[in-house]
């Protein structure tokens, strides 16, 4: 009987375990995780803190007892895998509660160790109340602090997904929120013109935004920035980036790719065919360019878990690459993107053209409609779509989902005008923004 050991029991690890059991009732599956909670929806944690989701246990999908009873999978929490013996196909595990160590053999090993929040070295940071948000326990610590200490102000450092989601949720709690971001524009995965729309929304909602600067010194509740400005805040949320947890892989001699993740092939295998890597710490490849790519988001890891599990069980279903499709709520706005942004296209010296449509989400005479901006980059010679971004009040996600499908299917920018999409006044227009982008591109040809 084949034995599979999995390191990590959150999105990737728990999903891989479930897939393995679904497709094979006989394999032995053991999952280890150093945290005390498994299989929780990490993307929901900012909304627990913001009281949008009232019950914190609602984002915990299962526990070891339920997993064992329902799927016959052994999950050992507060157990840290500290070493891999590739030759003997064994891992060394430490029980974090007792300190005891033991070995566990494997036929296949899946690494889903996730990532850790980056906390930069800042003078005096230990004197301030600082939080990161990477796991369930982090969420609980922030939530308890807000409820018990009743803070009035916060600085969020970093204008990425977590930073913006936390800024919104903390502002909605009534806190005075300042958002500090090192780059000139927030959300660097977006084109600058799209980012500026988000910045305007933050200003409207009362979030103080300081870009092109960073924290250099803190003294309790006083925070000094590199531009000389001093801010005062009761606590700091540090969300400047994610470091993939590759220490175990490095120690085992597995190859690390140029993005800093554990290098994998189209079946999520590392350079050791018995060891797979999925999730935030794994490196795969870009669907558009074929270049190395790492996407620490939920949707890709679930797909990677399926591919790894199926390959271990003998089915070769290859991953076709990563697009980095993502969506973000910022107060009344939604922003989404897929594929390459303008900066990446330019950095790679790719030939491209861009078509932008400023329209509305659905029929203008219908009372519930909003402005929408859809921007698509494409190769003017092959007409293949390179990437897209969309921002507006409603219907943003479905437009990007259509573009994702078009890229996956190999459609051209010109094909978009021919798509017969859903129409009724509450939902769209007879010529959807997707169609309009296609028509405009044809006119530019």
Domain 3-116+243-312 is found in CATH 3.40.50.150: no
- CATH number for domain 119-240, candidates 3.40.190.10, 3.30.70.890, 3.40.50.970, 3.50.50.60: 3.50.50.60
pLDDT above 70: residue 390:
yes
DSSP 43: G
* pLDDT tens column, 315-354: 999 999 999 999 999 999 999 999 999 999 999 999 999 9
Q: How far apart are CA 156 and CA 321, in angstroms?
A: 33
* DSSP H or E run through 342: helix 342-347
Residue 151 in tokens: 């803070």
- Mean pLDDT, range 157-170, rounded to an integer: 96
* pLDDT tens column, 200-225: 999 999 999 999 999 999 999 999 99
Alpha helices in 24-100 (DSSP H): 45-49, 64-71
Q: What is the location of CATH 3.50.50.60 in the chain? A: 3-116+243-312, 119-240, 332-444
* Cβ atoms within 10 Å of 52's Cβ, excluding its own: 12
Residue indicated by tokens 């990677």: 304
Residue indicated by tokens 């029929």: 363
Instruction: Characterize the bridge pairing of strands 101-105 and 28-33.
Output: unpaired
Superfamily of domain 332-444, CATH level 4: FAD/NAD(P)-binding domain (3.50.50.60)
**For the whole model, what pTM was predicted?**
0.94
Residue 5 β-bridge partners: 30, 109
Contact 360, 329 (CB under 8 A): no
* Cβ atoms within 10 Å of 60's Cβ, excluding its own: 15
By C-alpha distance, which of 53, 67, 65, 229 is closest to 155? Answer: 229
- Mean pLDDT, range 153-163, rounded to an integer: 96
Residue 193 in tokens: 């013109």
Q: Decide if 43 is catalytic.
A: yes
* pLDDT tens column, 257-291: 999 999 999 999 999 999 999 999 999 999 999 99
DSSP 208-273: EEEES--EEEEETTEEEETTS-EEE-SEEEE-S-EEE--HHHHHTTPPB-TTSSEE--TTSB-SST
The beta-strand segments (E) located in 264-325 are 275-277, 282-285, 292-293
């Amino acid at each position: 009987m084949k034995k599979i050991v999995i390191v990590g029991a959150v999105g990737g690890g728990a999903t891989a375990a479930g897939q393995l059991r679904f497709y094979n009732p006989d394999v032995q599956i053991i999952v280890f995780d150093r945290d005390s909670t498994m299989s929780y929806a990490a993307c929901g944690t900012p909304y627990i803190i913001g009281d949008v989701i009232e019950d914190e246990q609602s984002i915990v999908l299962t526990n070891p007892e339920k997993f064992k009873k329902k799927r016959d999978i052994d999950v050992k929490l507060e157990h840290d895998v500290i070493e891999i013996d590739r030759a003997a196909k064994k891992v060394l595990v430490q029980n974090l509660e007792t300190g005891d160590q033991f070995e566990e053999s494997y036929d296949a090993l899946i690494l889903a160790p996730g990532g850790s929040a980056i906390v930069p070295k800042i003078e005096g940071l230990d004197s301030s109340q600082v939080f990161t948000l990477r796991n369930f326990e982090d969420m609980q610590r922030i939530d308890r602090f807000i409820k018990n200490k009743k803070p009035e102000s916060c600085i969020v450092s970093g204008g990425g997904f977590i930073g913006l989601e936390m800024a919104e949720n903390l502002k909605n709690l009534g806190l005075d929120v300042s958002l500090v971001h090192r780059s000139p524009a927030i959300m660097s995965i977006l084109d600058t013109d799209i980012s500026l729309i988000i910045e305007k929304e933050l200003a409207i909602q009362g979030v103080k935004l300081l870009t092109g600067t960073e924290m250099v010194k803190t003294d309790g509740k006083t925070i000094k920035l590199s531009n000389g400005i001093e801010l005062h805040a009761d606590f700091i949320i540090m969300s400047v980036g994610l470091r993939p947890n590759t220490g175990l892989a490095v120690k085992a001699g597995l190859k690390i790719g140029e993005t800093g993740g554990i290098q994998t092939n189209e079946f999520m295998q590392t350079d050791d065919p018995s060891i797979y890597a999925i999730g935030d710490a794994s490196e795969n490849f870009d669907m558009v360019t074929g270049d190395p790519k790492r996407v620490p988001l939920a949707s890709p890891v679930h797909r990677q878990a399926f591919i790894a599990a199926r390959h271990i069980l003998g089915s070769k279903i290859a991953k076709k690459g990563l697009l980095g499709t993502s969506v973000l709520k910022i107060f009344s706005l939604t922003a989404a993107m897929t594929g390459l942004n303008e900066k990446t296209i330019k950095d790679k010296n790719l030939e491209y053209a861009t078509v932008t449509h400023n329209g509305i989400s659905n029929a203008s005479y219908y009372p519930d409609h909003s402005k929408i901006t859809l921007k698509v980059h494409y190769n003017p010679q092959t007409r293949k779509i390179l990437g897209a971004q969309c921002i507006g009040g409603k219907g943003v996600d479905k437009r990007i989902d259509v573009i994702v499908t078009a890229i996956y299917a190999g459609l051209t920018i010109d094909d978009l005008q021919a798509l017969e999409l859903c129409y009724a006044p509450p939902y769209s227009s007879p010529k959807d923004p997707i169609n309009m982008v296609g028509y405009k591109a044809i006119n530019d040809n």
